[in-house]
Structures are given as C-alpha cells and as structure tokens.
Structure 1
Amino acid sequence: MATIARTSARVFYYARNVVRDVVPQALFRRRLTARLEQATLSDEAARRRLNYYNKLRDGFAPSANAVRISKLPFTPTMYYYDLKEFARYFDPGLLIDVEFGDVRDVPKVPTIVKDRPIRDDDENAVIMKLDKFRHFQMPADTISFADKLPMVVWRGDLNNPIRTRFLQAVRDLPFCDAGSHKPNAPAEYAKPFLSISQHQRYRYIVSLEGNDVATNLKWILNSKSLCLMPRPTYETWFAERQLEANVHYVPLDPDFADLGEKVRYFERHPAEAERIIAAANAYCRKFSNERDEQAISLLVLYKYFALSGQIEPDPELWRFIES
C-alpha cells in the first residue's frame, strides 16, 4: 500500500521524465563531453564500480535484435525512463541490446540489464540502475536495535519454492511474524500487509529472493534491524555479490533450520548485531552520492558504445576507464 509521500514521489518521477522526453534531446547531447570530463574526477571506488557493472573487455558487434536509442522499448515504463535518463546523452542512432524485466540467465550477447545471476561468466550482462524507484527505496529508520520488537518478520509473494519452504520452516515459531499478504496466499500463510516502517519495528527482518533479487534487501540493510537471508544468487546495481556473510548480513541455511539458533545468539550478543547493522548501513551509503551514481551510469554506457565500435573513445577518458 502506497503512502502519500510515496505516491507524490511517483508523480514527480513520471513528471520529471516526461519533461526530459519532450525537451529537445540535442540539449543533452551537447552536454555529454562536459559530463564525461566531470566523471573522470570520480575516485577509484567509482571506477571499480563502473568496471564491475560493465565487465566487457573485448570489442563486439550489437546483435540483429539491437535497437536504436531513439527506439528503446517504452515498457516497462520505469525501465525505459531509467535507461533513457543516460542514453539520451548519446547519438540517438547508436544501437543497444537491452533486456528489461527480471533476467534469469546471462544474455548471449552484451546486453543492458537490471540484474544478472551471480556466476563467473557474467560479462555479457551489463548492469544499469533500472527500475530504481522500486528497488532503491531506502527510507531512514529511527528505531534503535535495542528498542525494536525481539522478533523476526517477513512478508512477500509466494512466487518461488524458497519462500514457501521458509514459511513451512518457521510457521510454528512463536517469535516469527511471517507470511504472505497477497490475496492468493494459502490460508495457513496469510498475513496482513506491513509497510516498511512497520517492518522496521522488528529486530530481525528476513530477505528472500523472488523472481530474481529480493526487492526488500536494500531498505533492510539501510535500517537498524538485522538482515537474515540465504546467500544471494542474483545481483543488481546494488552489487549483491559483494555483500559478505556475517559482515553485512546474517546467513541462513537453505532449509532455514538455523533461524532460531541465529536469533537466540544475537539476542545474547546485541553488540555483534549492531556491528553488522553498522557495516550494512555503510555499504548502503555509497549509493547515496548522486553525482557518482550519474557519472558511473554514463560511463557504463560510454564503455558499451566504445567497445561495440560505435564511438571513438577519447584517449584520456579511456585511460581513466582502464587504469
């Protein structure tokens, strides 16, 4: 259920992007050189992130299914607007392979995606910050760990076996408030909807992947609650692969049999829980620098177009990318 603030933010998101689409796009293209020069002022961490999202090293040719920037698919709308926000700085005739939605496998050709499976041969999945209005919602949490309810909470759609297995494992645990708020949820798992702020009242919040990544993971790690989850198998712009077990989150076994043991441990050792929470919060902060986020986004696309042979890379900028 959307709050008034969230609804207002959604209206602003669409209004801003509609305006960007109707103004002469040449205005953005004239600013590309200046924006890229500014991007080279980014620090080493930003350069590492660029080359993490875009791992391509060799030249390639766009596929027969590639589309021109001027013809990017308009649906899902938020994917279109989030990619167009930065693609509009480049020549509208440049070709780009895109795959919107939940990506379950690595594309066969270099492709712009929102997410990719965590595996070694993932170079063709070039990550951009897509569907960010949904995935990068990270509201502040004002309740200290000590003042939260000493319980576990989870809500979500039962759209994969992992989530059903979790509810089966915890259904009889008195310290767990877990279930699905979806209308199609089986009666034994049905629970009322909880907002993010209502989740934040609990000390322990479980994050479970759905069709790909867990949408709630970012705001959990940005909260003062402790995140418990199995090791991630997909990643987005949030670079879930780089999250470390027992550093940023508490790992759970695939059968969730260790959930009670983990909760009892951190109830006895709250300082350790707060250490993990602090590290998780610090991890989230690197996504809050909007200048870096924009610079990295432009550079991801610049590297893609340069390696596809569609633009001649500036030597100084390319040294920054490859250094």
Structure 2
Amino acid sequence: MTLDYLFKSGKNPKIIYYILAYARVATPGIVYRRRLKKALKSIESRPDAAYIKERINYYNKLEETQELPEDVERLGDLKRSKKVKSVYFLDAYQITCWFNFHFKWNYVPGDVTHIPKIPSIVKSRPIAGDNQNSILLKLVQVRHFVFLNDKLSFKEKKNKIIFRGKADHRPNRTQFMSKYFDHPMCDLGNISKKNILPEHWKVEKCSLYNHLNFKFILALEGIDVASNLKWIMSSNSIAVMPKPTYETWFMEGKLVPNVHYILIKDDFSDLEERLNYYIKNDDEAQKIIDNANEYVSQFLDKKREQLIGLAVMKKYLKKTNQL
C-alpha cells in the first residue's frame, strides 16, 4: 500500500469517527431520551417537513401493524460481537440510544440481500418485490457515505473508464474483467489478495482522487450495493453501471438511468458505445454530473439525516405495536 493511498485516499478518517461514536456510547442514554420528543416534534415546523416524511416512508414502508415475536432482542441487548461488528453496533446505537432500551427489534447486520420474514432493521435490501419488512437505517456510514471535492472538470479527464475493486466471488465483476481487461478504453484492476482470478488482473489500491482523473468510473454491485457509487456521484466523473438491484440509505432505487448515471446492459455489451456517446456529447454528460451532484446534496445536512433516522425508528416501533 503506497503512502499516496494512505494519506490521500479520499476516504473518511476512521479515527475521528470512532472517537465521536464511542463518546456517544459513553454518554448516559437519558441525555438523548430527554431530547427525543422535542427533536421529532421539530420536524413539523421545518420548511422541508414534507420531504422528510417522504424519506421516512421510503425507508420504512410498513403500513399495517405487525407484532414482533416475543423472543426477539431488545434495543438494550445491542452489543459489539462477531455478528454485530463495530460499525454496525456504533451506527445503530446512534439511533437506539434515543429510545427506551426495553423496546423490541429485529436487527440484521451485514450485507442483506434477502427480505426478512418479520419487520427488521437492515443496511441494505432488494429494490424489487415487497420489501416492506426491510427497514433501512444509515449503517456503515463511515465507509459508504464518502463524498469528494473534485477540482477537475469533466472535459479535463481521460476518455476512459476505471475500476478498482475486489472481483473474486463476484460473478458480475469477474465477467466484466474478462470482457474488458485489455480494452483500450478501460483501466481495470482486481485489488483482492486472493489467488483465485488471473494474476495479471491484480493491482495495488489507488486513492479515490486518482479515480477522478477518468471521465467514467465503473460502479458494479458487490454482495449488495456498489459502495463507490456515492462518492462517484459527488464528483465530476460519471458512474457507469447496470440498473441497481439493491439499495441502502442512499435510495439507489430512486436513481434514474441516464439522468443520474450512465446505464449499460447487464451483459455490458454496449459499454464502448455508451462511453463514446458521452465523450462526443459532453453537454449531456455534464447534465448527468449536475443531476448526480444535486442528488448527493440531500444527504449532506447532518441534523436532518439524524432526524430522519430517529423518525424511521419511531415508525418501526409504532408499526410493531410498541408505541
């Protein structure tokens, strides 16, 4: 790993995240619970109240009341463990600490690609189908919610697409690498240390800012979502991908093809055609960049993000007949 990557990666500094998160854990819960009613009531008088309610109902689609089984965990049972890794513990605690710990919930940490049988708090869910039992919270935000300050204009960037990521055990990424690794418009690399895929695909990690030298950045889903999509959409480069099948707090299901990102076929067969089109029509490319930047901007108000998270949790408790 190069010094350039270590000090200029573009990722969120984890040390700051952990200091603030554990300081919250050390604060008595009553400090937050006393403020909950006032915080939630403040939504009603905000000029963006309708927008906030729309997002609450997008993350939490529960309509009918559903009783949770008696044996599910309580909020107070949340602890860091092998199952609940530190970021899943800390990000969930950021919301649960505002509520009485005797309330019940079903928390499913990790990259969730199925829809639980009972109402559950998750980081990710399938976009298609009846996904109302998958209630989204903003989890693993230190890794997923990264936004960049891009100083290069689209016209200044290379007429190529870049991808750096783990391709092993991810058939879609392996397929793309096989098809385009030697293509002159592609700069691709597998950063996995495992010896499963061709050795010549392996490369060292490069910083997020190094990606921004390219007009196009590949955003392929891994186990669930493409974790790089958020910072790509905050830049002056364009995300290129098939239509997403999973979503998180970023509401990937609301993204519009060729409005927020460049859509390619699931078999990637039209990649070269799509890239060349936007290289020749950079005015249309700039519209996509502007739309993507505007979409990202809705996640930058930290106070509003917290209010939405609290309201999503309150609705969960209400729809599971606990309030």
Assess same fold via TM > 0.5: yes
CA distance in 1, matches of 2:11, 2:176: 32
1:153 to 162, 179, 183: 162
- Mapping 1:25-64, distance limit 5 Å: 25-42=29-46, 43=48, 44-64=50-70
| Distance in 2 (alpha carbons) for counterparts of 1:173 and 1:54 | 43
Which amino acid is the alignment partner of residue 26 of structure 2? V
Q: 2:75 aligns with which of 69, 74, 79?
A: 69
Whole-angstrom distance in 1 between the partners of 2:14 and 2:8: 10
Query: 1:248-267, aligned counterparts within 5 Å?
Result: 248-267=260-279
Aligned to 2:130: 121
Q: Is the 8 A contact 1:28 1:88 kept in 2?
A: yes
Q: Which structure 2 residues correspond to residues 188-267 of structure 1 after superposition, within 5 A?
A: 188-267=200-279
Structure 2 runs not aligned, ≥5 long: none
Number of aligned residue pairs: 311
Q: Which runs of 4+ in 1 moved over 4 A?
A: 4-8
**Are the equivalent residues in 2 in contact too, given 1:223–1:281 (CA < 8 A)?**
yes
Q: Report Cα offsets for 1:2-38 as digits up to 9, x if no partner.
A: 4378788311211112111122211111111111111
CA contact (8 A) 2:260 2:289 kept: yes
Q: Which residue does the alignment assign to 1:281?
A: 293
Give CA-to-partner distance per residue, 1:87-107, whole Å, 9 cap, x none: 111111111110000001000
Asked if structure 2 preserves the Cα contact closer than 8 Å seen for 1:99 and 1:112, the reply is yes
Q: Which amino acid aligns with 1:269?
A: N
Give 1:192 deviation, angstroms.
2.8
What residue is the counterpart of 2:175 in the other structure?
Answer: 165
User: How far has the Cα of 1:290 moved from its partner?
Assistant: 1.4
Gaps of 5+ in 1: 312-323
Paired with 1:181 and 1:197, the residues of 2 have a C-alpha distance of: 17
Pair 1:197–1:4, CA change in 2 (3 A): closer
CA RMSD in angstroms, aligned pairs only: 1.6
**In structure 1, distance between residues paired with 2:200 and 2:65:** 54
Using the TM superposition, give the Cα deviation of residue 120 of structure 1 relative to its aligned residue in structure 2, in angstroms.
2.7
Which SS does the other structure have where 1:96 is aligned?
Answer: coil
Separation (CA, whole Å) in 2 of partners of 1:167 and 1:290: 37
Note the C-alpha offset of 1:153.
0.4
Q: Distance in 2 between matches of 1:128 and 1:79?
A: 10
Q: Kindly provide the amino acid, as one letter, of the partner of residue 66 in structure 2.
A: F
CA drift of 1:256 comes to 1.1
How far apart are residue 223 of structure 1 and its match? 0.8
C-alpha separation between the residues in 2 aligned to 1:40 and 1:156? 43
Q: 1:178 aligns with which of 160, 182, 188?
A: 188
**What does residue 310 of structure 1 align with?**
322
Residue 276 of structure 1 aligns with an amino acid whose one-letter code is I
Q: What CA deviation, in whole Å up to 9, does each residue of 1:64-105 have, x standing for no partner?
A: 452111111422111111111111111111111100000010
Report matched runs for 1:1-16 at 5 Å. 1-3=5-7, 9-16=13-20
Over 3 Å counting, the alpha-carbon distance change for 1:258 and 1:50 in structure 2 is same
Q: Is the 8 A contact 2:125 2:247 kept in 1?
A: yes
Cα deviation 1:165-221 (Å, max 9, x = unaligned): 101111231121012122225213222321100001101111000000000000011
Provide the C-alpha distance between the structure 1 equivalents of 2:227 and 2:12, rounded to a whole number of angstroms.
21
| 1:32-75: CA deviation from partner (whole Å, max 9, x where unpaired) | 11111112234211110000000001111123452111111422
- Which of residues 108, 125, 142 is equivalent to 1:133? 142
